[in-house]
Structures are given as structure tokens and as C-alpha cells.
Structure 1
Amino acid sequence: MSDSLYSSFESSLIATWRPPQPIVVAYSGGLDSTVLLHLLASFKQRHPNAVVSAAHIHHGLSANADSWLIHCQKQCERLAVPFAARHLVLQRSPRQSLEALARKGRYQALAELTDEDALILLGQHQDDQLETLLLQLKRGAGPKGLSGMGVDTTHCQRRYARLLLNHSRAALADYAACHQLDWIEDESNQNPAYERNFLRNAVIPLLRERWPSIGTTVSRSARLCAQQQALLDEVAQQRLKLVRVAADCLDLQSLADYSWAWQQQIIRLWLQEMAVPAPSEQLLHRLPTELFNAREDAQPCIQWDNWQFRRFRQRLYIVRSQCWQPEPINWLGEGALLLPDQRVMEFDLTEDTTECPLLYLHQTDRVQIRFGEFSHRFTPADALHSKPLKQWFKFWSVPPWLRDKLPLVFVNDRLAAVPGYAVDQAFSQPQQDKSAWRLNLAGSGK
């Protein structure tokens, strides 16, 4: 069993590894990662060109965490594997899952400890996959959730590999016993308040007693679901390209060419690519009645977490919810101003007066950046009449939720320019005692 586990690990790692890519074990000190560390040390002996190391995350959740760190460091010294550790400071908010918080912090810490091109090995095995699928079933997941954990995944711009997914915990325990490995037991693994512990200690033993091969068969189901999801994503990606107008925007008329089932699939893939958490199925089902088919002059909005679905002129937008009450910003001649939403307002002095539109300023002019003042009248350089700014926003097809965020340039308390759209006639004419400025708005405020 010991030799077969190593052979499987070696062949899987060779198929996954891209030399001279460094290989890092996420090493907690438990059975799984201890076996993984020993396997990697054996791999290093057979492949001297491999650059290997171990990374330990000190969560600070257990009174034994300090001793675990010392244990892990000593084990790495014994196996001649370079060791690095990082301490986490977890600040849990109400209703936040401690497991989810620790997992997020762990991934962030691993990203800080490793090179961007590193291959990080995780010790999850077949039993962990069984737990994952049972949890996903409990949550009512679809094919994506029932795909379980992937062998090769990316997170926080790091590549992760789970090369033991086809092996049971019992196989890992046999390997550890054969090689007389020493590992630690986390006392929290016995706490039934954690869902995984309840499954691991109370539910899965009963399932294995009735169906001894359930770990293998469920893993096969996960692989089949992953294959089906990959096919769905492939077609959905092609269709997303046909309906996508911009990164944050879909054309509703084009989306309507597909069945509701495909519309949901396209929207889910779109949100995934935008790194937006997926809304519930119930919320998605509100889209046709509350948003797609709302009256033309309505401003429908559906919100979840810190995100919103918005519709404007037959387009579907994804918008981040923000509290927006910015103060005026005085411009004192800087080349760039950082706006409250992290966009950058750039001022470039230019002598190329053939460009249009340019803002012409006198050295003594008082310039401010303001937001949300739509009642001021404005006459774009190419317009025949002035109108209140709110009417120009409609003419320019600026979505209502973006209007408050557009920086407005006031010169001596008069609206002079809307960067990216127009300069007022009074400030767009070259004059001998004035300098020409090109305005640019960089970044996304959506």
C-alpha cells in the first residue's frame, strides 16, 4: 500500500508539475498533510531538481497552536524540507462562519508565503470529497457544487493541486503507520458543532458500514458532474460572448434569444467571471418579472449582499452597492487626483490644441471636483443650447446609478466639464492667457 500510494502521487505530480515551478506543501501537521509532506520529501530524493518547501498557517484558534507550529518546523527539519509559517489574526463579525473566515485567511496567507508561479499541494483525500458532496447536497447545489473539489484549481492567483483525492483516509493512515510518521490531532475535529465533523464522526461511518465503497462511487459522481459542468461552461462561454456588451453589462434582447434555463446559466457564468458571489436561485427567478419586464421608464433594482442587478435601456448591469457621500475636492495643479471610489482623475497639460475637448484654465482659476450637482446648466462645446446637466445625462445614456459618481469639474463655482463626456463652451475656447488641459478618468467606479 505504501509503495502504491507513492507511485500514484509521483505520477500525478509529474503530470501536474511544470518545472522549474516550486512545489509547496500546505502543512498543518495533521495526518493528511504529514503524509503529503513525506511523499514530497521522497519525491525530492528521486527528483533532485525539484524545489520543494512547506508552509504552515498558525490560525491562533487553539491553545495548542504554538506547539503545532514547533512540531511542524521540527518535522520539516528532519526531512530537510525548507519551512515557512505565517500567523493569522482572525476578526469574526456576527453571523460569519469561523470555518469560512479561517479558510479565506489561509488562502491569503499561503499567497503571501509563496511565489506567484508556485504549485501548492493540499492534503484533501477521498473522504474529504465525500464530506464536500454531502454538504453540497444539503445546500441544494447543482452540478457545479456537486463537482466537489477539483484536482487542479486556482485561488488568489495561486495554483493548487489535490493529488490524494483518489485515496481514502485509511490508505493515508496505513502509509503513515508504515513509515512511522508523527502527526498532531486537532481537538476541534471532535466538535460536532462543525458540519464537517458531524458528517465525519456521526454520518459517514454509518454510510460506510452499509456501503463500504461509497467514497469511491461518490468520487466518481463528482468527476462526472465536473465533466458535465465543463461542457455547460464551454457552451455558456460562447453564448456569453454574444450577449455581453461590456464587462459589467449584458444585452437583454440578445439574452432573450435563449431559454430561461440557458439565461440563468449565462448569468451565473457572467457573475463568476466578474468575481461576484452568486445569488440564490430564488433571487434569480425574480429577474424576469421584476427587472426584465419592468416598465420602460422604471429603474428596477434587485440586491443581494453588496451587489445589485440593474436594468437600463434594455441592458442588464451588475453594480456594487456603495454608500456615496463624497466631499468636494480642490484641485491644486496635481497631475492626478484619487477619487473616493479609487478612480483616478488625471490632468494633462498639453500644447496640442487640435485635440477636443480640452479644458482651458487661467492660472488663478479656482478648480473643484464635485459630485451629484445635476441642476447646473451646461453647454457642451458642440451643442447649440444649454440644458440642466441631468438632461445631458439622459442624452448621453448614462445609467442613473452612475451619475452620482461622475466627477464634475467646477471652475470658479461654474460647471466647466464632465470628464469623458464634454467641456462647457465657456471653457473650451483657446485663449492666449489660458493653458489647455486634457482630462481623463481612469479606473472603474461601477
Structure 2
Amino acid sequence: MSLAQHFIDTLRCHLPDGGRVVIGFSGGVDSRVLLHLAALYRAQHPDLELLAVHVHHGLSQYADQWLEQCELWAKAEQIPFVAEYVSLDLESGDSIEQLARDARYQVLASHVNTDDVLLTGQHLDDQTETFLLALKRGSGPKGLSSMALSAPFASGKLLRPLLDVSRSDIEHFAHTQQLTWLEDDSNQDTRFDRNFLRHKVVPVINKRWPSFNKAVRRSARLCAKQEQLLAELLKPELEACLNSFQGVEIDTLSRSSPLKRDQLLRMWLEAQTSALPSEIQLQQLWNDVALAKPDANPNLVLASGSIRRFKSHLYWVAPQEDVTQWSKSLTIETPVLLPDRLGELTLGNSSEKNSLMTLNRAALTEPMVVMFEPEGLSAHPHGRAGSRKLKKLFQEYQIPSWQRRRTPILMMGDKVVAVANLFVDKDFYGSDCELVWDK
């Protein structure tokens, strides 16, 4: 099968109807071929929307020239082009490779909407390098499964249509199509681990074992299948451990064997963050956080957040913006988008007659505002005796301390109407409309 037909078949299988194709376009041979293949595919599907996104890291003296050349290639293929500029914190302690990758995917995510597919140019040789890097780190089956052909990404999907194609086949296709591309001088710098493998290690292996790349592909797929099977078998048990804030119950985990407990914790964290803990960190998580003294406030800091304990549950706490100064008007039937990925709040027609979050429309006589600052506020929850400070109510409702200033409060003037997902004040409780917090 030709490379072009392989691309067409792969994209056809993974592109939802009405979805747009976003191309991560660096200008290297892989993404240059992707750009051309996407244009060929569009020739057969004229209604398909394409977008090429180039990320300018500013790490090379040639970065501006690369951007200009990429824009010219996109124009020649009649594909809309967007350039995004990012700056890297080179003092963070992370590798330049990791910083650049994280920044690139963060920018690309902002362009991927529901049903969109992001195309990236990783190929079979890249998969071998990724596998060996995971092996160097001592990764288990999850890490050794390396890169998937497709995976959820932002609001859409990430697709690597060249993942089973060798670098040499990609370059051969580029030559036959008379394509030109950029050569990043940093790709020759063997101080970087991936480049060291590419230039010093993998060629020697391939000379001895010419089918090594294909063997790695099989091993990676087997590891991925094993992980999928574990997830399928353990997902019901994990879901039974979770509360409404996605906290995982320590007592339930403690009744599992250490092997099952560790796998459940990995699965739980995988749903929260891409930076999974090492084996040592996993032991620290259990011994120093889950099993800490009852009066302790343990906190394990990882690369992209931290793990904390509250009321016999473990919680993943991602880096958070301060939203206490944020406020916005709320009208009936008009959703409000909350800040910092906190979801959406809607006051609409009641769908559940017995819901705790239903209100009396006649009592809502003044403009309403959504806010997050509970300081100084009091409320009298429907069905309970007496008024309490919100600070005290949050404790009684067992809301983790880091969630208390991230839970939407509905106000009318200086009165608390409701706290989302917790209670409605007795003066506003009814059955006409319902407050829904879609997280």
C-alpha cells in the first residue's frame, strides 16, 4: 500500500463527520509530508476544513525564517496557517525537550475543538526512540506502550497517521513529490537523549537486527493491550472508590492487595494528569499521605500538581488560579462559563422534583451574581436548623479546604441564594427551577 493510501485510510477511520483537521506543522520532513497528504485528502473531500499551526519556540536563530517558510508552504497547499509564539522557562529545571513539547501541545490544544483531529508526524523510528527512552527510565507496561496511534486530546482527538511508517519511507515519498523541508540544526546535537539514540544507538541496533523497529512496535502494542485490559477489569472497582470530587477512598484501597492498590492509584492519577508518579513516588503517596497520622495535613508534590488527603480520601490538586475576585451575572436559562476550567453553571427549568438544588422562581426578585469568595457570608440551608457561616457549612458538608474557594456561590444582593451542588437557602427553596453545575 502506498503511503498516500495508508494516510487516507487512517484519516477516514478516525475523522468524525464534520470534524476539522489541525496539522502540527514544524516544517520538518514529517510534518511537511503531513501537510501535503492533508491537501491530497481534501482534494477528495472538498468540504473538509484544514488548519496548519506552527509553534515558534524562539530557541533557534533561524526560528523567524522557519516560520516564514512554513507559511509559504501552507499558502502553496492552500491551507490556512496560524503561527503561535511561546516562551520557555529555561530555569525551571526541566529539559528543553520537555519544555518545548509541553508548550507545543498546550498551544495546539487551544485549536482543537469538539470532533477536530490533530495530526502530528511521529513515525516508526520515533516510536523506537520513545520505547528505548521509557526503558532507560525503568518504565512499566504503561510507559513501554509508548505512543498510541490515536488518543483523546483537548476537546477532540490526536492522530499519528505515520506511526507505522519508517523515516526512510517518509523521506522517499517527500522526494517523489518534490517536496522541500526544514532541517533543524538541533536535531544533530547528541547531548539530547533522543538525538543520541537516533544517531549513535539505533543505527547500530538496526544494522545487527534490521527488523528491530517492527519488533518494538509489536512490544509496544502488546504493552498497550495489557494496560487496556487492566483498565477494563479494574474500572468498575475504581469508580466505586470515587466521590463527587473525584477523591479516591483510602479504606477501600487498603482492602486491596498492594499490586491492585498501586494499579488503581495509577489509573486514578492517569485520569487527572499526564505526569504519572514513579514507583518510589507511588510508595510515598501511600505511606506518607494515605497512611499519615489522622491529625496531619499531608501533601505530595508532583510535576504537574499535588496529592492531598481529606476525610479519608485522596485528592489530585492541579495548579489553580485564584478565582475569589471573579464574579458574573446569572439569568435564568442562560449558562455561565466559570473561570479556570471549573465548568458551567445554569439556572433552568427543574428536571427533578426532589432535587436539593431546586429554587422558587418567585423569590428571585433581584439580579443574581455568581461568585467564589465565601468570606463573611452566612446561609440557612433548606432542611437544616439555623444559619451558619459558609466557612462552617463547608466543613460540615466535608468540602476539602482547597475546593472551598472554587465552589460557585449564587448571590442576590447580599443574600446567599445557593451554593452549587450543596444546598439552597431556605428563603429561596422551591420547585420551579434548578441550579446545575456541570463540571
* TM-score in terms of structure 2 length: 0.74
Residues 292-346 of structure 1: per-residue CA shift (max 9 Å, x gap) = 444444444433346443334433333357798979x9x9x987999999989x9
In 1, are the aligned partners of 2:374 and 2:391 still within 8 Å (CA)?
Answer: no
The aligned length equals 413
In 2, are the aligned partners of 1:37 and 1:54 still within 8 Å (CA)?
Answer: no
Structure 2 residue 147 is matched with structure 1 residue 122: no
The CA deviation at 1:22 is 3.1
- Give the counterpart of 1:81 among 70, 78, 98: 78
Q: How does 1:269-418 map to 2 (within 5 A)?
A: 269-275=267-273, 277-305=275-303, 307-320=305-318, 396-399=397-400
Measure, in 2, the Cα distance between the counterparts of 1:28 and 1:107. Answer: 12
Letter in 2 for 1:270: W
C-alpha change, 1:165 and 1:246, in structure 2 (3 Å) is same
Structure 1: any 5+ residue segments left out of the alignment? 349-354, 410-414, 430-437
Measure, in 1, the Cα distance between the counterparts of 2:384 and 2:401. Answer: 22
The CA deviation at 1:288 is 3.7
> Residue in 2 aligned with 1:150?
148
Measure, in 2, the Cα distance between the counterparts of 1:381 and 1:372. Answer: 21
Segment of structure 1 superposing worse, 228-237 or 100-109: 100-109
> Residue in 2 aligned with 1:432?
none
Measure, in 2, the Cα distance between the counterparts of 1:340 and 1:161. Answer: 29
Measure, in 2, the Cα distance between the counterparts of 1:339 and 1:25. Answer: 30
> Residue in 2 aligned with 1:184?
182
Segment of structure 1 superposing worse, 213-222 or 335-344: 335-344
> Residue in 2 aligned with 1:260?
258
Measure, in 2, the Cα distance between the counterparts of 1:284 and 1:34. Answer: 41
Structure 2 residue 1 is matched with structure 1 residue 13: no
C-alpha change, 1:125 and 1:408, in structure 2 (3 Å) is closer
- Give the counterpart of 1:167 among 165, 168, 172: 165
- Give the counterpart of 1:234 among 219, 228, 232: 232
C-alpha change, 1:61 and 1:121, in structure 2 (3 Å) is same
* SS of equivalent residue, structure 2 residue 81: strand
C-alpha change, 1:170 and 1:341, in structure 2 (3 Å) is closer
Structure 2: any 5+ residue segments left out of the alignment? 348-357
Letter in 2 for 1:175: F
In 1, are the aligned partners of 2:123 and 2:167 still within 8 Å (CA)?
Answer: yes
Segment of structure 1 superposing worse, 255-264 or 222-231: 255-264
* SS of equivalent residue, structure 1 residue 219: helix
Q: How does 1:204-243 map to 2 (within 5 A)?
A: 204-243=202-241
- Give the counterpart of 1:57 among 38, 54, 57: 54
The CA deviation at 1:74 is 3.5
C-alpha change, 1:392 and 1:123, in structure 2 (3 Å) is closer
Measure, in 2, the Cα distance between the counterparts of 1:131 and 1:15. Answer: 27
> Residue in 2 aligned with 1:433?
none
Which structure would you say has the larger Rg? 1
Measure, in 2, the Cα distance between the counterparts of 1:400 and 1:133. Answer: 40
In 1, are the aligned partners of 2:381 and 2:425 still within 8 Å (CA)?
Answer: yes
The CA deviation at 1:369 is 9.6
Measure, in 2, the Cα distance between the counterparts of 1:405 and 1:82. Answer: 41
Structure 2 residue 117 is matched with structure 1 residue 99: no
Letter in 2 for 1:51: L
Q: How does 1:421-436 map to 2 (within 5 A)?
A: none
C-alpha change, 1:385 and 1:120, in structure 2 (3 Å) is closer
C-alpha change, 1:204 and 1:294, in structure 2 (3 Å) is same
Letter in 2 for 1:26: G
> Residue in 1 aligned with 2:65?
67
Residues 67-94 of structure 1: per-residue CA shift (max 9 Å, x gap) = 323333433444x432303131314251
The CA deviation at 1:226 is 1.0
The CA deviation at 1:379 is 9.7
Measure, in 2, the Cα distance between the counterparts of 1:37 and 1:322. Answer: 37
C-alpha change, 1:326 and 1:153, in structure 2 (3 Å) is closer
In 1, are the aligned partners of 2:305 and 2:317 still within 8 Å (CA)?
Answer: yes
- Give the counterpart of 1:251 among 237, 249, 252: 249
Residues 352-389 of structure 1: per-residue CA shift (max 9 Å, x gap) = xxx999xx9xx9xxxx9976789x9x999988899999
Measure, in 2, the Cα distance between the counterparts of 1:107 and 1:208. Answer: 31
The CA deviation at 1:244 is 1.2
C-alpha change, 1:203 and 1:443, in structure 2 (3 Å) is same
C-alpha change, 1:381 and 1:278, in structure 2 (3 Å) is same
* TM-score in terms of structure 1 length: 0.73
* SS of equivalent residue, structure 1 residue 248: coil
* SS of equivalent residue, structure 1 residue 100: helix
Letter in 1 for 2:82: A
In 2, are the aligned partners of 1:24 and 1:53 still within 8 Å (CA)?
Answer: yes
Measure, in 1, the Cα distance between the counterparts of 2:73 and 2:372. Answer: 59
In 2, are the aligned partners of 1:132 and 1:148 still within 8 Å (CA)?
Answer: yes
C-alpha change, 1:53 and 1:285, in structure 2 (3 Å) is same
In 1, are the aligned partners of 2:51 and 2:81 still within 8 Å (CA)?
Answer: yes
C-alpha change, 1:22 and 1:250, in structure 2 (3 Å) is closer
Q: Percent identity?
A: 33
